Structure 1
């Protein structure tokens, strides 16, 4: 899922069709142009292919994609099946690259190798080893920034890009939300890297600093404070005082505007209690956004959080909240009841638990269709929270069913 947002490339899953179908488009990344990455290409291996080998089928699939769609590159993903049967994916990709003149890039990340974070890290290694440094931009500036781990969920990155442009900064490479293959190739010419979402891609930023001398920092765009900090840090790393002054004016203006627009929503959200069940960077960055709205986080999921993520959570809420390392729906529900939470903010897989228990629910994970990043994103989040809490369905479901009501009948 880390590489799929590269919108103009073809993505071929070498394995049974279920390996593609069970995971495709689970992340709501949007593209401002090409949509080839939305196509689900698979070699659709069957029993005979597994027994007798499927390298020839992979050759034919790659040739078909290149002849039919002419993509700038094809990513070929191994799966558990093809990894176990010993398919020479790298050999096939190398041979087809030489014959077709199109980069055919093997991605050796079968599901059984480990967690989602490990898969993301392997994807970062692929970018560093095969793509970054392979092309050159037409022009560069002293204000070029790479965004690493930003997937443009529901178009969030477009709002951030507008803010950066107003401050005089430019996104050189998007890794990988709304990205293009060639622009990832010239990422080595940036003046700074920002690791936005996935700590699993922190290794990519470290490797780029070692090889190309590009400084990096970790940041977030959830909440006004985090957005302002990230913009200031970008400006600082460019080393341009004029850009820093422009960022200071921009953040002051946006924070003042946002404060006025948020006022009616803060009044309705102040004192509300929420359980936040997500992972990684969002486990701490969304806390900041909720606190800016006056919401008290009484429970937080840490199942995909690193030790540093947990430390940042503690900095924001201390010991006042319950930490939920694992347990899924049952543990979330237990926390909601024990902490008297007013709402659950989590991923779509926990929506049904919340609705069955008549608990207001807001989707915060990658499947969502609303943008919550940046200043406008915080306003959108506030509106969604108020709308959810005040929805008339909760008053309706709180009533007794007709057959449960005590009814007096006239004699």
Structure 2
């Protein structure tokens, strides 16, 4: 537990974070996230964050050392896609019971589970995740993993990120620390070259990195490791021989990028593959970093030629959508890198941004948004569901882009909605991804269903006056009895 506390404090003291550098020593030790309330989900715990970062490593086994409930939703891990292995989709847990917790049999059961995975699947590595329960009862995860690695001849990585230590974002960073300590640098590649790069903080959601990788392939740039999207254990183990790195989501793995630069001299920059301009700029910066590290300067010319070709194709496709979408108002309720990269992408085709959330964005992200929008009035940290509904129901936005948790607010307000977060079904990265994003926005806004649902419901309409049918003698007698009993006249009943 003392070792875990030291790691957490080291993550809080992040020199690469401009906001952190501006704090005094006492404030820096408190970290960036508010402490979790026991029993509250708080949008995800540290265990959840660690598993989000590591589970997309597709050919390793991910073993949760905890009661069964801690392994809640493993399948697909938020839509990260794999081009080959599917072992990462299999859920492994030690499934501790109350008796095993009380009798202290957790470590023995963990060792047995590692052996069973080794014999049944033979993975190159096993990642072991303790949770609140196993951390609190004092199971020595590191000792068990070390002994199992010696016994079974494979890498067993302890990921010390139990849920109670902090937020999901802290778990992201602790996962990066586990990779640095146990994986990266453990394998020496025999094919290292001057055009090798790492992509950090890219999760390959809906396979969108596959829209970017062909661009790098055409430039002769090899992705040594994409961490974690569609990654393999050996790729990450040899990632220390890359010449440059691009950081896609700094809030998750900035500590990993900084420490790889310190240990192995791998320079990095933060960029985005969302939008035409940002994709082009990312390709330029990658080429420039490689040239600084010794690559042939001719790659700069090839990069500009590729950018010109791809931009021309993309703008030609987007021209068909501009008349239909120019002037449309978008409310963006997301965070992180998407809070500014998607904003810039949409403004390129004339879409107006009426608001964007910066709840999960860094100080650098917020500065970029201010430079793009030129107005702080369209930036909000967090908007309550009631406020979101009021804004949409008053038709201040034509569509809302957000995650699945707020889709029902838009649907209640009878406003088009598009999933922009990790559960999305379409890839939006790169030049082709930008065209796809605009296409999906166009389909959502101009879907004829919205005109229908906005019309008054049939039961809210004034019913048409129908001609009264002649009544029989018995029906007339019954009606008079009812009217006399209720003290009404025939006219009070109308057509009901």
TM-score, with length taken from structure 2: 0.81
Match of 2:297 in 1: 241
Give the 3-state SS of the residue equivalent to 2:54 in structure 1.
Answer: coil
| Consecutive unaligned residues in structure 2, runs of 5 or more | 1-51, 468-496
Using the TM superposition, give the Cα deviation of residue 111 of structure 1 relative to its aligned residue in structure 2, in angstroms.
Answer: 1.5
Q: Output the CA distance in 2 between the equivalents of 1:328 and 1:6.
A: 35
Match of 1:261 in 2: 317
Q: Output the CA distance in 1 between the equivalents of 2:290 and 2:438.
A: 33
Equivalent residue for 2:135, pick from 83, 86, 92:
83
Give the 3-state SS of the residue equivalent to 2:320 in structure 1.
Answer: helix
Give the 3-state SS of the residue equivalent to 2:266 in structure 1.
Answer: coil
Structure 1 segment 170-209 matched on structure 2, within 5 A: 170-209=222-261
Match of 1:373 in 2: 429
- Does the 8 Å CA contact 2:187/2:237 hold for their aligned counterparts? yes
- Does the 8 Å CA contact 1:8/1:37 hold for their aligned counterparts? yes
Q: Output the CA distance in 2 between the equivalents of 1:298 and 1:339.
A: 11
Match of 2:99 in 1: 48
1:286 aligns with 2:342: yes
Q: Output the CA distance in 1 between the equivalents of 2:109 and 2:347.
A: 54
Q: Output the CA distance in 2 between the equivalents of 1:134 and 1:188.
A: 9
Match of 1:216 in 2: 268
Equivalent residue for 1:313, pick from 369, 373, 385:
369
Using the TM superposition, give the Cα deviation of residue 320 of structure 1 relative to its aligned residue in structure 2, in angstroms.
Answer: 5.6
Match of 1:139 in 2: 191
Match of 1:341 in 2: 397
Residues 337 and 396 of structure 1, relative CA distance in 2, 3 Å threshold: closer
Match of 1:225 in 2: 277
Q: Output the CA distance in 1 between the equivalents of 2:449 and 2:435.
A: 23
TM-score, with length taken from structure 1: 0.97
1:116 aligns with 2:172: no
Between 1:195-204 and 1:18-27, the stretch displaced more is: 18-27
Match of 1:15 in 2: 66
Q: Output the CA distance in 1 between the equivalents of 2:167 and 2:368.
A: 22
Using the TM superposition, give the Cα deviation of residue 131 of structure 1 relative to its aligned residue in structure 2, in angstroms.
Answer: 0.7
Match of 2:46 in 1: none
Give the 3-state SS of the residue equivalent to 1:6 in structure 2.
Answer: coil
Using the TM superposition, give the Cα deviation of residue 321 of structure 1 relative to its aligned residue in structure 2, in angstroms.
Answer: 4.2
Q: Deviations over 1:199-236 (max 9, x none)?
A: 32111111011111111000000000000000000000
Between 1:45-54 and 1:175-184, the stretch displaced more is: 45-54
Between 1:249-258 and 1:306-315, the stretch displaced more is: 306-315
Residues 328 and 126 of structure 1, relative CA distance in 2, 3 Å threshold: farther
Equivalent residue for 2:115, pick from 60, 63, 67:
63
Give the 3-state SS of the residue equivalent to 1:214 in structure 2.
Answer: coil
Aligned pairs, number: 411
Q: Output the CA distance in 2 between the equivalents of 1:14 and 1:331.
A: 41
Using the TM superposition, give the Cα deviation of residue 293 of structure 1 relative to its aligned residue in structure 2, in angstroms.
Answer: 2.5
- Does the 8 Å CA contact 2:74/2:89 hold for their aligned counterparts? no
Q: Deviations over 1:27-57 (max 9, x none)?
A: 1111111110010111112211221221111
- Does the 8 Å CA contact 1:345/1:363 hold for their aligned counterparts? yes
Q: Output the CA distance in 2 between the equivalents of 1:387 and 1:116.
A: 34
- Does the 8 Å CA contact 1:298/1:339 hold for their aligned counterparts? no
Using the TM superposition, give the Cα deviation of residue 182 of structure 1 relative to its aligned residue in structure 2, in angstroms.
Answer: 0.6
Residues 200 and 16 of structure 1, relative CA distance in 2, 3 Å threshold: same
Equivalent residue for 2:83, pick from 14, 32, 38:
32
Q: Output the CA distance in 2 between the equivalents of 1:408 and 1:334.
A: 34
Using the TM superposition, give the Cα deviation of residue 410 of structure 1 relative to its aligned residue in structure 2, in angstroms.
Answer: 4.6
Match of 1:389 in 2: 445
Q: Output the CA distance in 2 between the equivalents of 1:365 and 1:23.
A: 18
Which of the two has higher C-alpha Rg?
Answer: 2
| Consecutive unaligned residues in structure 1, runs of 5 or more | none
